[in-house]
Amino acid sequence: MKYERLLTPFTVRKTTFPNRIVFPPVQTNFASADGDVTDRLIRFYRRIAENGIGLTIVGATGISPVSRLGDHAFCLYDESKIGSAARLFDAIQSAGSVPAVQLNHGGRAMSLKLAGGQLVAPSAIAAPASKNVPRELSIEEIDEIIGQFAHTAENAVKAGARMVEFHGTHSFLLNQFLSPLSNQRKDRYGGSTENRARIVAEILEKARALVGDDIVLGLRISAGEYIDGGMTVDECVKMVNMFTEKGLDIVHISAGGRDSGGRMLTEASKGNLIRLAGEVKKKVKIPVIAVGGILRLDQAERALEEGQADMVAIGRALIADPELVTKTLRGREKDVVECNACLQCFVPGPEPGIICAVNDDL
């Protein structure tokens, strides 16, 4: 069978993904101004999920009112949002895909306005991209943020998510803690690899206690930052192995982020993010999701065949054509509307919500 590896189900804890194809987290900004699920947000995810996607990870949602990345970002930190979120996760589940959500705090990399006028980070070091200088978080505040990640995970599970992914890459708060470039704390949350990783370890422990044993806990982490002195594959592996002891089930490998400009996407287009995932996979004991630059199913199948990953995520190519997988499986590759990597999806338009240059029906 063509695409045999991609189409083989995969079980983690008690969840069976019907295949190895993942829609990675994408911040659509399609929710309402107060973070509720909208019909547009549901339609966006349903169309992708129902077209042959085994795991659909809803894009970064904030863990508190001052952590979200978009003014129309989907929110889950407040229990009053569980009913709204349930509509979204139900739609994904009914479409035949496993519903998951990514949880995030933007830290120093978010906009001052969405942060409530004060950026926070592990250390008071300016964000390279914006030059904004954050305030160093106190131990009490770190404890509060750990609780907020765990509590939002619990809300997600109550709303029907079967997997929660913590966002530890792309220059956001957890990445800021993990990286020696942005974390120069002298207390137990900074310094050694173990100390920089502590916040994620504590989130995993606290979240596991709240969500129980059946839920899949994931982490998206950087295997490189494209800045001298940043995270490396070796340090990423060391941290993933530590997190595995704390209950991490699956790891999603990315690299770079806001601090290194568009480098993550140029590296993705060269296939280099998939290769990084392969390097990590050789040295960790849990399943690996690879992502970056996949435009066709044969590329995804090859990543599995070469042992680079256990699951493969396809982002922009599914925004460009939500039917990429089903069209390909039915022998209609020629009808696939291909992503041209123009990066229009990263450029804010006049209205809230992402725009795609080759798909005007988002």
Question: Which residues bind to ligand FMN, rule: CB under 6 A?
Answer: 24-27, 59-60, 102, 167, 170, 220, 254, 268, 291-294, 314-317, 345-346, 354
- 53/185 with CB nearer ligand FMN: 53
CB of 26 or CB of 204, closer to ligand FMN: 26
Sequence-distant (6+) residues with CB within 8 A of 338 are: 295, 317, 320, 321, 358
Q: Which is nearer to ligand FMN, 91 or 219 (CB)?
A: 219
Residue with Cβ nearer ligand FMN (56 or 123): 56
Task: Tell me whether residue 190 or residue 200 sits nearer to ligand FMN (CB atom).
Answer: 200
We find the least distance from the C-beta atom of residue 186 to ligand FMN, in angstroms, to be 30
Write the single-letter amino acid at 141: E
The CA distance from 355 to 352, in Å, is: 9
Report the nearest approach of ligand FMN to the CB of residue 274 (Å): 10
Q: How far is the CB of 289 from ligand FMN (least distance, A)?
A: 10
Query: Nearest 10 degrees: CA dihedral of 197, 154, 144, 62?
Result: 80
Cα 296 to Cα 362: distance, rounded to the nearest angstrom? 20
Beta carbons of 303 and 291 less than 8 angstroms apart: no
- Smallest distance, Å, CB 210 to ligand FMN? 22
Residue whose pair of structure tokens reads 């001298």 in the numeric block:
228
Number of Cβ within a 10 Å radius of residue 170? 24
In the complex, the smallest distance separating the C-beta of residue 312 from ligand FMN, rounded to whole angstroms, is 9
